[in-house]
Amino acid sequence: DVKVTQSSRYLVKRTGEKVFLECVQDMDHENMFWYRQDPGLGLRLIYFSYDVKMKEKGDIPEGYSVSREKKERFSLILESASTNQTSMYLCASSTGTSGYEQYFGPGTRLTVT
């Protein structure tokens, strides 16, 4: 059974703080994704990675960076958190970039005050 885990379910940070969100998958998937989910806006892709140390910008990369040092782990970094980054963050993994089922993590609800 595929398992995608995220480091926190809920997180509260202050404006200007550096924030790390961690995602780990145990299925040896090549591809990993970070989305943010906001009411009425659906799932928007922030960054994705198709291999270790590789990263590609998604639709809304501004204010975010990522790191993938190991195949199973994909980190999302908010260099200087802002209130407009308050959101639900979902990580996903799949065996391929597209055309393959994406398995999502439980999500991290981040509040920036």
Partner 1 sequence: GENVEQHPSTLSVQEGDSAVIKCTYSDSASNYFPWYKQELGKRPQLIIDIRSNVGEKKDQRIAVTLNKTAKHFSLHITETQPEDSAVYFCAASIRGNTPLVFGKGTRLSVIA
Single-letter residue type at 13: K
Nearest Cα residue to 92 out of 10, 7, 6: 6
Stretch in the footprint of partner 1 (CB under 8 A) among 16-24, 64-72, 74-82, 92-100: 92-100
Segment 105-108 long-range contacts (CB within 8 Å, at least 24 positions apart):
105/4, 105/5, 105/6, 105/23, 106/5, 106/6, 106/9, 107/6, 107/9, 107/37, 108/6, 108/7, 108/8, 108/9, 108/10, 108/11, 108/21
For partner 1, which is the closer residue by CB, 46 or 81?
46
For the bound state, the minimum distance from the C-beta of residue 80 to partner 1, rounded and expressed in Å, comes to: 26
For the bound state, the minimum distance from the C-beta of residue 92 to partner 1, rounded and expressed in Å, comes to: 8
By the rule CB under 8 A, 107 interacts with partner 1 = yes
x/- map, 43-72, partner 1, by CB under 8 A:
xxx--x---------xx-------------
Footprint on this chain of partner 1 (rule: CB under 8 A): 4, 33, 40-45, 48, 58-59, 90, 96-99, 101-102, 104-107
